[in-house]
Amino acid sequence: MSVTVPTKTLPSGAEIPVIGLGVYKAEPGAEAYNAVLLALKLGYRHIDTAQFYQNEADVGHAVRDSGVPRRESFITSKLFTDNWGYKKAFAATIASNKLLGLTYFDLYLLHTRDELLRICNTKEFSRTLACRISPELASWWTQQFFQSPMKWVLMAFSLANGYITLPKSANPERQQANLEAVNITLTPEQVSRFAALDEGLVVAWRSQDPIEDARFNK
């Protein structure tokens, strides 16, 4: 059964679906292709890939084969951190676009730029949040949502805060189930109480640079 996912208007006027399929760790080839093709059939219209995932070509192939008009899909990719700088960024963007074979990106992201986050916090920019919440705290909170799986409530909390949410799965049942988050509405009080669970723990992705890892872990 196809589900219609709500959208959010970006400053450019583009409409971004608030839930998309993330294909991080989807193996290049059949796994990534089939995951995207299935998601589009279920009603997903936002697909999130990246240079680092090495499956941009499979995403593009699935979008072309899906029968979904290009103008109705929203495709995001990302610039890998090795490609900072105008010349490298330009070349990497062109290369990714050729791999996708879809003529254009709807959104092209820059990873881990603190200065950009500061700008986003003062302007009308949307942000994508990548995080994990303590299972103990989340389980405590979701006691009052016993009819809804914890992941749906976490996704609903993310949506309530204006974040674009990108669950990843190649499993048909899970892909379908993740769309149920759009049907959960949290009250302002519930959102505030959930936010109060913040323990102040700061984490970061492991970088691809051993020297940077050593500096960070000092």
In a domain, 180, yes or no: yes
In a domain, 2, yes or no: no
In a domain, 31, yes or no: yes
Q: Between 30-42 and 56-66, two packed helices, what is the crossing angle to 10 degrees?
A: 40
What residues are paired with 22 via a beta bridge?
A: 48
193: CB partners within 8 A, 6+ apart:
141
**Burial zone of 11 (CB within 10 Å; 0-12 exposed, 13-18 middle, 19+ buried):** exposed
Query: Mean pLDDT for each 10-residue chunk of the chain (218 residues)?
Result: 80 91 93 96 94 94 96 93 87 94 91 57 51 60 62 81 85 84 81 74 58 48
What pLDDT is attached to residue 96? Answer: 94
Q: Where are the beta strands (DSSP E) in 49-192?
A: 74-79, 107-110
- With contact defined as beta carbons under 8 Å apart, do 111 and 78 qualify? yes
Ordered strands of the 21-22 beta sheet? 21-22, 46-48, 74-79, 107-110
Read off the CATH number of the domain in which 83 is found.
3.20.20.100
In a domain, 163, yes or no: yes
- With contact defined as beta carbons under 8 Å apart, do 47 and 36 qualify? yes
- With contact defined as beta carbons under 8 Å apart, do 20 and 165 qualify? yes
In a domain, 43, yes or no: yes
What is the number of helices (H) and of strands (E) in the chain?
9, 6
Show the tokens assigned to 121. Answer: 């916090």
In a domain, 1, yes or no: no
Residue 104 bears catalytic tag: no
Q: How many domains does the chain have?
A: 1
In a domain, 154, yes or no: yes
What pLDDT is attached to residue 218? Answer: 46
187: CB partners within 8 A, 6+ apart:
none
25 lies in which domain range?
Answer: 7-216
Annotated catalytic residue: which of 44, 53, 104, 163?
Answer: 53
